């Protein structure tokens, strides 16, 4: 028994495919926990397994996926053993999710009112009229100024930022304990991104809700989340306090990500950026040993063998000692 | 002559025709002025709907000019013949998954610009393509592959190679790295910097990402709803922004280091801009940014501020 | 392009119906090509002593005539074997004719839009507003009966399908960035249409071509049945069917056998077409 809201130990996700006899190992030995009311930033590029992990937490991975874990529990309740009808209560009830593209996440043929009220009625035992009042209240909470007019709109009449606000209103309508925000602002402009992230942060604090904020942008994480975990090629490579990792990244991948950010470091313009060579390996071409070793500039012989354990919150045999200037 | 491109009072208007409704005029660009010097990078920054993509299309002649003039190497755009024009100005597109023909091999993608425009022998084309592939960091054996075998970064290198085959003087880079993963972005940006020196290129670098613009540009044009709001050197824009929109844009960009907010001093405190972009079909009568501007006064609603030189750069704001 | 077809084959192999279709089509191709070797008799040779013989496996059949003979004493099996030559080449000609015209007009309509598009599309609307067989009959009536004219008529009727499919696809593709890129290095309109855009539209074309094959065979057979298609003594299945219909009660095999031949050939092309559609659809979505 633990006090953590979410407790994940050794989560492994495989995908069967008809072209390859061996299943693809998409997420390896992922362990992390999340306290009630805490925000966790998850940083990773495409293929890092960050989105797949979220879908597994929502129980919507589909038939080709095999999910195994020593523990994967929400409030000490094991999620992986749930039946489909139990999942339906958890999904959208205790765990909610918002997506990268709010426009495709909303049904284009139904009004905002219909979509919010339907979500509320699916999880709460209240009348339609009460649900409508709650919908108005929710829209006000997410900063929509004329909620009654907005309820009558169809998704195409909303701007990207407005649609994401509606998605957030739907996500928090059931007072979830955990909100998963998967790249919630990647499709939005910077000024709108700031508005949306600030909104999520304030809702997290006000409702004592836990948030998993997935992003590819280290800047977003460092401004909004105290704790961060960095994923690479299906593995957790580094985790810790954001301010600490931004200053003293121990894993060469994190170091590379931070020092390749243009404009992040005070350096004269138009000089070469420190870049990470190569690309993320494809799912069926994952190397032995450290997943990052083919791209790592500090690679040694022992990096290429066996499983690399996480020690002191970093999955690296030879952690970096340098600081980011 | 150092100045190779000059844009004068450029306007682009689209007619929106709807059945049973009067035709609407969408002003995508109004009164754009700027110039580009040899070997220089001009950054164009703004949010979606600010007209930066329309500008790229007008500059590459994919769209016609409604009003105004663009002068390339002392000659008006309309006076150029097709081939002459295409060998002066080329473009790298945003989406490396859409900008390469999926049914063409890498070799043909790179070779086609020469094949169409010149009478080069196939032996020489072979040599030129291989040479170019080396320069953009693609291995020779990749030439037989189709685009879907390449990663996003490699595709963008292919797109750059194609754009350089006719040896243009100006390259328009329309969000060249925004579809790429963070670790790949730096690789492509470095390549662009190398190529600029090697081929004596002038860049027009269009992006919504301020950190990329800051790293790549010599001078910067900030756009809002089809108008230029601020136009100055990189240091002026990033370290001493004057227009409220520029300030807010800089403030909103997520940063890893708080100490980096050098522009913070001019702002005093963090501001979150209210509201969203108004519709380009229904522009406010006054300053386009007025409805969202924290410094707006009554006078801002009445007329559109002109670009004026203030503290060494051009700004369109009454309150500066 | 090679990869495209190998992937297509990989997807198609999983579909049993489509594979059945492919096997039958290959089989009938073999029969058509080797017809002189396979047929026991000349299809027009008249055995005046053996009129309307039933097949061998029915009492009264003669060993020399496996499927029996027709009303004037020609060997049915040989006629059916030679008939496959006609039907397959008819289907092929119809597809080639309608594919080329349809693709050309469709690409022009989709690429240029405007007035040209409107003219082409109203013409297709006109053709499609009449039942296709009726329209084909009108055309043959004007041109005169005969196998060549009925191929032309059936092809004209099939063109609008191709135009519509290719036009829709071109309208999507022409706004992709690779087309802009080609414009920027000076590619002319002809090159844009047929070198850059068209190869990206072939997936739905393949499906339509395979379905058009069966439509073509069916429509030409129908014209033959109405006496407007192949003329005697050509052993076209539709004509055979029509000639035999007065004997439907006394000699049912004369009607049944050509009927089954048409059914099986048309069905196998439809199975292949549907299989191709299923195999190509996810690819289409992935590309978007």
Distances A199 to A42, A169, C25, C225 between C-alpha atoms, Å:
18, 11, 63, 74
| Cβ distance of B276 and A261 shorter than 8 Å | no
A186 touches chain B (CB under 8 A): no
Q: What pLDDT shows up at residue B302? A: 83
Least confident span in A315-319, B52-56, C10-14, C282-286: C282-286
Q: Indicate if the pLDDT at residue B267 is higher than 80.
A: no
Q: What is the mean pLDDT of chain C?
A: 88
Q: B107-111, long-range: CB within 8 Å, 24+ apart, which pairs?
A: B107/B143, B107/B144, B109/B147, B109/B158, B109/B162, B110/B143, B110/B158, B110/B161, B110/B162, B110/B165, B111/B165
Counting every residue written for chain B, the total comes to 320
Q: What pLDDT shows up at residue C282? A: 52
Residues of chain A with pLDDT under 50: none
Counting every residue written for chain C, the total comes to 288
Would you say C238 and C221 are in contact if contact means Cβ atoms under 8 Å apart? Answer: yes
Q: What pLDDT shows up at residue B182? A: 84
Mutate to test the interface with A, among B94, B183, B225 (most CBs of A within 10 A): B183
Kindly state the percentage of chain B with pLDDT values over 90.
46
* A chain contacts of residue B194, beta-carbon cutoff 8 Å: 272
Strands A178-182 and A95-98: parallel
Query: Counting beta carbons within 10 angstroms of the beta carbon of residue A125, is it exposed (0 to 12), middle (13 to 18) or buried (19 or more)?
Result: exposed
Of A45, A192, A261, the CB nearest to B256: A261
The ipTM value here is: 0.85
Q: What is the mean predicted confidence (pLDDT) over B90-112?
A: 91
* C chain contacts of residue B82, beta-carbon cutoff 8 Å: 186
Label residues C125-135 b or e (16+ Cβ within 10 Å = b): eebbeeebbeb
Q: Please choose, from the candidates C98, C84, C105, C66, the residue with its C-alpha nearest in 3D space to the C-alpha of residue C25.
A: C84
Q: Indicate if the pLDDT at residue B81 is higher than 60.
A: yes
Q: What pLDDT shows up at residue A267? A: 64
Q: Indicate if the pLDDT at residue B261 is higher than 60.
A: no
| Cβ distance of C181 and B162 shorter than 8 Å | yes
Distance separating alpha carbons of residues B167 and B184, to the nearest angstrom: 25
Would you say A37 and A210 are in contact if contact means Cβ atoms under 8 Å apart? Answer: yes
Would you say A162 and B276 are in contact if contact means Cβ atoms under 8 Å apart? Answer: yes
| Cβ distance of B185 and A161 shorter than 8 Å | no
Distance separating alpha carbons of residues C225 and B318, to the nearest angstrom: 85
Report residue A207 as tokens: 């409702």
| Cβ distance of C177 and B98 shorter than 8 Å | yes
| Cβ distance of C180 and B113 shorter than 8 Å | no
Measured from the Cβ of residue B131, the count of other Cβ atoms closer than 10 Å reads 10
Closest chain C residue by Cα to residue B58: C184
pLDDT in tens, B222-240: 999 889 999 999 989 988 8
Domains along chain C? 2-287 (1.10.3720.10)
Mutate to test the interface with C, among B103, B150, B158 (most CBs of C within 10 A): B103
Q: What pLDDT shows up at residue C285? A: 43
pLDDT in tens, B48-75: 888 888 999 999 999 999 999 999 998 8
Q: What pLDDT shows up at residue A124? A: 85
Mutate to test the interface with B, among C113, C184, C192, C198 (most CBs of B within 10 A): C184
Would you say B256 and A265 are in contact if contact means Cβ atoms under 8 Å apart? Answer: no
Distance separating alpha carbons of residues B298 and C1, to the nearest angstrom: 63
Give the confidence band of B266 by pLDDT, cuts at 50, 70, 90: very low
- DSSP at B300: G
Least confident span in B106-115, B137-146, C44-53: C44-53
Where is pLDDT greater, at B269 or A88?
A88
- For the entire predicted model, the pTM comes to 0.85
Of A46, A190, A198, the CB nearest to B181: A46
Chain B nearest-CA distance from A163, in A, is: 12
* C chain contacts of residue B83, beta-carbon cutoff 8 Å: 186
Report residue B268 as tokens: 């005093």
Of A191, A220, A246, the CB nearest to B47: A191
Q: Indicate if the pLDDT at residue B263 is higher than 70.
A: no
Q: What pLDDT shows up at residue B268? A: 44
| Cβ distance of A190 and B214 shorter than 8 Å | no
* Cβ pairs bridging B and C (under 8 Å): 62
Query: Counting beta carbons within 10 angstroms of the beta carbon of residue A267, is it exposed (0 to 12), middle (13 to 18) or buried (19 or more)?
Result: middle
| Cβ distance of B93 and C199 shorter than 8 Å | no
Whether cis (ω within 30° of 0) applies to the bond prior to A212 is no
Chain C nearest-CA distance from B138, in A, is: 20
Would you say C190 and C101 are in contact if contact means Cβ atoms under 8 Å apart? Answer: no
- DSSP at A77: E
Residues 6+ apart with CB under 8 A from A3: A35
Contact residues of B toward C, CB < 8 A: 60, 62, 82-83, 86, 90-91, 93-95, 98-104, 112-113, 116-117, 146, 159, 162-163, 165-166
CA B130 vs. chain centroid, Å, equals: 29
Q: Indicate if the pLDDT at residue B165 is higher than 90.
A: yes
Q: What pLDDT shows up at residue C73? A: 85
Distance separating alpha carbons of residues B194 and B200, to the nearest angstrom: 10
Residue whose token pair is 């060579």: A277
Report residue B4 as tokens: 């190779």
Measured from the Cβ of residue C251, the count of other Cβ atoms closer than 10 Å reads 20
Q: What pLDDT shows up at residue B1? A: 54
Q: What is the mean predicted confidence (pLDDT) over C195-206?
A: 89
Angle CA B294–B298–B299, to nearest 5 = 110
Of B60, B103, B113, the CB nearest to C199: B103
| Terminal-residue alpha carbon distance, chain C | 18
Q: What pLDDT shows up at residue C185? A: 87
Q: Indicate if the pLDDT at residue B270 is higher than 70.
A: no
Distance separating alpha carbons of residues B223 and B12, to the nearest angstrom: 14
Give the confidence band of C287 by pLDDT, cuts at 50, 70, 90: very low
Q: What is the mean predicted confidence (pLDDT) over C142-169?
A: 93
- DSSP at A158: S
Least confident span in A203-207, C6-10, C198-202: C6-10
Chain C nearest-CA distance from B58, in A, is: 12
Q: Indicate if the pLDDT at residue B41 is higher than 70.
A: yes
| Cβ distance of A195 and B190 shorter than 8 Å | no
| Cβ distance of B183 and A45 shorter than 8 Å | yes
Q: What is the mean predicted confidence (pLDDT) over C237-255?
A: 86
Chain A nearest-CA distance from B234, in A, is: 9
Distance separating alpha carbons of residues A291 and A299, to the nearest angstrom: 11
Of A190, A260, A277, the CB nearest to B182: A260
Distance separating alpha carbons of residues C74 and C275, to the nearest angstrom: 38
Q: Indicate if the pLDDT at residue B127 is higher than 80.
A: yes
């Amino acid at each position: 028994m633990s006090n953590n809201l979410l407790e994940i130990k050794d989560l492994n996700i495989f995908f069967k495919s008809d072209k390859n006899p061996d299943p693809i190992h998409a997420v390896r030995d992922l362990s992390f926990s999340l306290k009630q009311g805490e925000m966790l930033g998850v940083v990773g590029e495409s293929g890092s397994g960050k989105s797949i992990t979220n879908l597994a937490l929502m129980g919507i991975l589909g038939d080709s996926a095999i999910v195994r874990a020593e523990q994967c529990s929400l409030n000490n309740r094991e999620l992986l053993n749930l039946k489909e009808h139990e999942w339906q209560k958890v999904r959208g009830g205790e765990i909610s999710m918002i997506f990268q593209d709010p426009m495709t996440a909303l049904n284009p043929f139904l009004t905002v009112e219909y979509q919010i009220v339907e979500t509320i009625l699916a999880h709460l035992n209240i009348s339609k009229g009460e649900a409508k009042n709650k919908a108005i209240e929710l829209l006000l909470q997410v900063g929509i100024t004329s909620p009654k007019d907005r309820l009558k709109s169809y998704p195409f009449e909303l701007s990207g930022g407005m649609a994401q606000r509606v998605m957030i209103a739907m996500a928090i309508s059931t007072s979830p304990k955990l909100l998963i925000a998967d790249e919630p602002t990647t499709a939005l402009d910077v000024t709108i991104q700031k508005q949306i992230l600030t909104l999520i942060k304030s809702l997290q604090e006000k409702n004592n809700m836990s948030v998993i904020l997935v992003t590819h942008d280290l800047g977003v994480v460092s401004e909004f989340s105290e704790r961060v975990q960095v994923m690479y090629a299906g593995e957790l490579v580094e985790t810790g306090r954001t301010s600490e990792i931004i200053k003293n990244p121990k894993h060469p991948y994190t170091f590379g990500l931070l020092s390749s950010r243009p404009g992040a470091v005070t350096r004269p313009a138009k000089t070469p950026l420190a870049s990470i060579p190569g690309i993320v390996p494809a799912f069926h071409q994952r190397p032995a040993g450290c997943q990052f070793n083919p791209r790592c500039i500090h690679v040694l012989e022992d990096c290429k063998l066996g499983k690399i354990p996480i020690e002191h919150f970093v999955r690296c045999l030879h952690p970096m000692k340098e600081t980011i200037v | 002559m150092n100045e190779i491109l000059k844009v004068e009072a450029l306007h682009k208007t689209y007619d929106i025709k709807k059945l049973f409704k009067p035709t609407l005029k969408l002003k995508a660009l109004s009164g754009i002025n700027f110039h580009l010097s040899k070997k220089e990078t001009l950054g164009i920054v703004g949010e979606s709907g600010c007209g930066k993509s329309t500008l790229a299309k007008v500059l590459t002649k994919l769209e016609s000019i409604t009003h105004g003039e663009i002068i390339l190497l002392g000659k008006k755009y309309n006076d150029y013949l097709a081939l002459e024009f295409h060998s002066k100005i080329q473009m790298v597109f945003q989406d490396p998954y859409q900008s390469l023909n999926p049914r063409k091999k890498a070799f043909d993608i790179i070779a086609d610009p020469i094949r169409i425009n010149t009478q080069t022998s196939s032996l020489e084309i072979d040599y030129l393509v291989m040479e170019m592939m080396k320069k953009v960091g693609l291995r020779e054996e990749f030439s037989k592959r189709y685009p879907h075998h390449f990663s996003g970064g490699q595709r963008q290198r292919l797109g750059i190679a194609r754009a350089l085959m006719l040896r243009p003087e100006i390259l328009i880079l329309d969000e060249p790295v925004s579809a790429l993963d963070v670790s790949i972005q730096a690789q492509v940006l470095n390549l662009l910097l190398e190529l600029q020196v090697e081929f004596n290129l002038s860049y027009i670098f269009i992006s919504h990402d301020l950190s990329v613009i800051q790293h790549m540009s010599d001078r910067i044009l900030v756009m809002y709803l089809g108008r230029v709001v601020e136009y100055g050197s990189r240091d002026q824009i990033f370290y001493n922004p004057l227009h409220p929109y520029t300030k807010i844009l800089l403030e909103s960009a997520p940063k890893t280091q708080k100490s980096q907010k050098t522009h913070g001093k001019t702002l005093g405190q963090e501001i979150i801009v209210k509201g969203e972009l108004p519709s380009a079909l229904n522009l406010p009568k006054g300053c386009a940014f007025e409805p969202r501007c924290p410094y707006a006064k009554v006078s801002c609603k009445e007329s559109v501020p002109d670009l004026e030189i203030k503290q060494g750069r051009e700004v369109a704001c009454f309150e500066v | 392009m090679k990869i495209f077809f190998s992937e297509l084959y990989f997807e198609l192999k999983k579909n049993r119906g489509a594979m059945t279709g492919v096997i039958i089509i290959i089989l009938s191709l073999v029969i058509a090509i080797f017809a002189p070797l396979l047929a026991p008799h000349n299809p027009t040779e008249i055995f005046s002593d053996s009129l309307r013989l039933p097949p061998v496996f029915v009492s009264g059949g003669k060993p020399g005539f496996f499927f029996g003979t027709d009303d004037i004493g020609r060997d049915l099996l040989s006629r059916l074997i030679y008939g496959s030559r006609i039907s397959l080449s008819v289907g092929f000609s119809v597809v080639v004719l309608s594919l080329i015209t349809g693709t050309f007009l469709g690409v022009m309509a989709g690429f240029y839009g405007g007035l040209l598009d409107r003219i082409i599309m109203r013409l297709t609307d006109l053709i499609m507003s009449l039942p296709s067989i009726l329209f084909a009959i009108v055309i043959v009536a004007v041109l005169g009966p005969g196998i060549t004219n009925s191929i032309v008529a059936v092809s004209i009727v099939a063109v609008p399908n191709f135009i519509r499919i290719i036009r829709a696809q071109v309208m999507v593709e022409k706004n992709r960035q690779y087309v802009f890129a080609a414009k920027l290095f000076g590619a002319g309109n002809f090159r844009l249409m047929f070198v850059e855009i068209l190869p990206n539209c072939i997936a739905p074309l393949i499906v339509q071509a395979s379905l058009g094959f069966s439509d073509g065979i069916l429509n030409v057979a129908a014209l033959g049945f109405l006496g407007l298609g192949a003329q005697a003594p050509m052993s076209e299945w539709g004509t055979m069917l029509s000639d035999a219909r007065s004997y439907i009660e006394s000699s049912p095999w004369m009607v049944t056998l050509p009927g089954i031949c048409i059914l099986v050939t048309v069905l196998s092309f439809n199975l292949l077409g549907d299989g191709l559609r299923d195999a190509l659809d996810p690819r289409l979505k992935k590309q978007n």
